[in-house]
Amino acid sequence: MTELVTETRNGTLWVSFNRPEARNALTFGMYEGLAELCQSVPTDGSVRAVVIKGNGGKAFAAGTDMTQFRAFETAEDARRYEGRIEAVLTAVETCPLPTIAAIHGACTGGGASIAAVCDLRITSGSLKFGFPIARTLGNCLAAANLARLSALMGAGRVREMIFTARLMGAEEALSVGLVSEVLEDEAAVLARAEELAAQVGGMAPLTLRATKEAMRRLQAVQSAEDGDLIEMCYMSADFREGMEAFLGKRKPSWSGT
């Protein structure tokens, strides 16, 4: 099965996460495939917008496939992983075409980060958005990722969501500006995404591109060094415990070490 499915239809590139049996948990190959697609989209007018969605009817994407973390042994593994994720988010963020996240169901961890760097987000009422890492893995978000999320919905809300590991529903997401529309169901989301892609795809491309880049540059000012924090979390006994507890479907026992 192809984990990342693409289709170009009526000037819109549709990109679908396609691991429905795992709620579209993201493999490194899926991350890198998405980055490559965003970096290589044609700007000759043959494609005017990109829609990102999840297959299977249950999730946009439920974060990184945790089995991949079992190979982490050194601090460099942790830094390299967060560096790879940042490169993917930057690729989506700097895609020269407008990007739309069409969300239905779970949108957590890496999936939530990808949705957050899209230009527009619409959802069905089944949305569950967040980063429950304080309850599950015991890792951390990179500083640049936290800065993006804080700019999008406020630092206080980001801190509260991570500290409590709660997931945000559709109506709250609409009220704080995380999403622009809440639709009845998945079919309505996809239909609206098609309409929205056609609408924004008909706007002046350079205006949209300049706006995207200017806002990205403003955001980049807030970035900070975070390598020591990444190492502290990913190299901890708690991270190993969180990963094995999640995969073993049991509650983790945190030690703070």
Structure tokens at 142: 């990179």
Banded pLDDT at 223 (limits 50, 70, 90): low
Average pLDDT, the chain: 94
3-state secondary structure of 8: strand
Whole-model pTM: value is 0.94
Give residue limits of the domains in the chain.
4-201
The DSSP 8-state label assigned to residue 26 in this structure reads: B
In sign, the C-alpha dihedral spanning 103, 117, 25, 43 is: positive
pLDDT of residue 224: 74
Report the alpha-carbon angle 221-223-69, nearest 5.
155
Helix/strand/coil for 221: coil
- The answer to whether the beta carbons of residues 129 and 110 sit under 8 Å apart is no
**Superfamily (CATH H level) for 4-201:** 2-enoyl-CoA Hydratase; Chain A, domain 1 (3.90.226.10)
| DSSP code at position 22 | G
- Give the residue among 210, 196, 168, 219 at the shortest CA–CA distance from 52: 196
What type of residue sits at position 53?
K
**Distance between CA 215 and CA 203 in Å, rounded?**
18
**Tens digit of pLDDT for each residue in 97-142?**
999 999 999 999 999 999 999 999 999 999 999 999 999 999 999 9
Strand, coil or helix: 100: strand
- Cα(98)–Cα(118) distance, integer angstroms: 8
* Tens of pLDDT, residues 163-185: 999 999 999 999 999 999 999 99
By the 10 Å C-beta count (0-12 exposed, 13-18 middle, 19+ buried), 232 is classed as: middle
Residue type at 163 in one-letter notation: F
Q: Pairing between strand 106-108 and 59-62?
A: parallel
Residue 248 tokens read as: 């073993």
Residue type, 206: L
Q: For residue 226, which phi and psi values (nearest 5 degrees)? A: -140, 10
Separation CA 45–CA 53 (nearest Å): 22
Q: What confidence tens digit (pLDDT) does each residue in 60-91 have?
A: 999 899 888 888 888 888 889 889 999 999 99
What are the distances in angstroms from CA 25 to CA 112, 151, 240, 249? 11, 26, 19, 16
